[in-house]
Amino acid sequence: MTAARTYRIGEVHRLLRDEFPELELSKIRYYEDQGLVQPKRTKSKYRVFVSSDIDVLREALRLRARNIALPDVRRRLVDRGLIASETPPANGPAARAARTVQANVVTARIPDAVVTLAPVAALSTGVEAPPQLSVVSTETYATSEFVAASGLSERQVNDLQAQGFLEPEIANERLTYSSLDLVVAQRAGVLLAQGVAVRQLTPLRRLVQLELDFVRDITVPLQGLQKSERERQVTRVAAEVAALRHAVYSASVTKHS
């Protein structure tokens, strides 16, 4: 019997880039960490994928392109018979992080007051901590009001919306933007004013989605808590992930500057 064709990760990357030209190797590794694919390893520790792994990755990428959350992607892959179980690998990074979160739930001390996320302290690198969002009002804006308030052109607003940075809703049969949308638009406007194109911001949106997916996955063990407690715990975990991300970024800037 002829052995099944195998593929190195670079070959998988090239095959998938035909349909997803902006796909990065890190996304394939991320899906492996999440248990969607489980490539075998050679004696030299290289990953080897088979055709079914590529089918899973391709379908997962199609679903994520439709902004379907990773847990729902996993369920759909199970329903379609592309993967055998919804359970991620017991020793994967996400699983280890989930166990840490679950252990911390027992001992974490959360104040009764609304959690306020303190800014991450700037490191000695000179890299400033990201600005923190204060409490945002519930005010909404019609398109013309939003364009005026954001300081952007209507085309820039449309482009940001097309790239997933803005998420307006339909209310009373008209498109309305939230105060959160306004904060995002104004922050984006700073870069756009310096000549950065909206399409160049797209990797940032993907990074945000990856972080959201990661937080969602590692907080699965919190689903059994009461809603208010669960929300406080998820907020805490999200803040810790954001702090870690900023620390890694600051350290990288220092090391490579």
Res. 110: pLDDT tops 80: no
- Give pTM, 2 decimals: 0.48
Which is more confident, 34 or 88? 34
Residue appearing with tokens 């993907």 = 206
Which is more confident, 139 or 13? 13
- As a whole number of angstroms, the distance between CA 139 and CA 15 comes to 46
**116-122 contact pairs (CB < 8 A, 24+):** 117/235, 117/239, 117/242, 120/242, 120/243, 120/246, 120/247, 122/250
Q: What's the N-to-C CA distance of the chain in angstroms?
A: 54
What pLDDT was estimated at residue 2?
59
Res. 108: pLDDT tops 60: no
- As a whole number of angstroms, the distance between CA 69 and CA 211 comes to 12
Please say whether the dihedral angle defined by the alpha carbons of residues 232, 234, 236 and 238, taken in this order, is positive or negative: negative
Domains of the chain: 6-89 (1.10.1660.10), 135-257 (1.10.1660.10)
- As a whole number of angstroms, the distance between CA 133 and CA 256 comes to 29
**84-89 contact pairs (CB < 8 A, 24+):** 87/35, 88/34, 88/35, 88/217, 89/35, 89/38
- As a whole number of angstroms, the distance between CA 198 and CA 149 comes to 18
What pLDDT was estimated at residue 148?
92
State mean pLDDT over 28-49: 85
Res. 181: pLDDT tops 80: yes
State mean pLDDT over 61-72: 86
Which is more confident, 4 or 147? 147
Res. 93: pLDDT tops 60: no
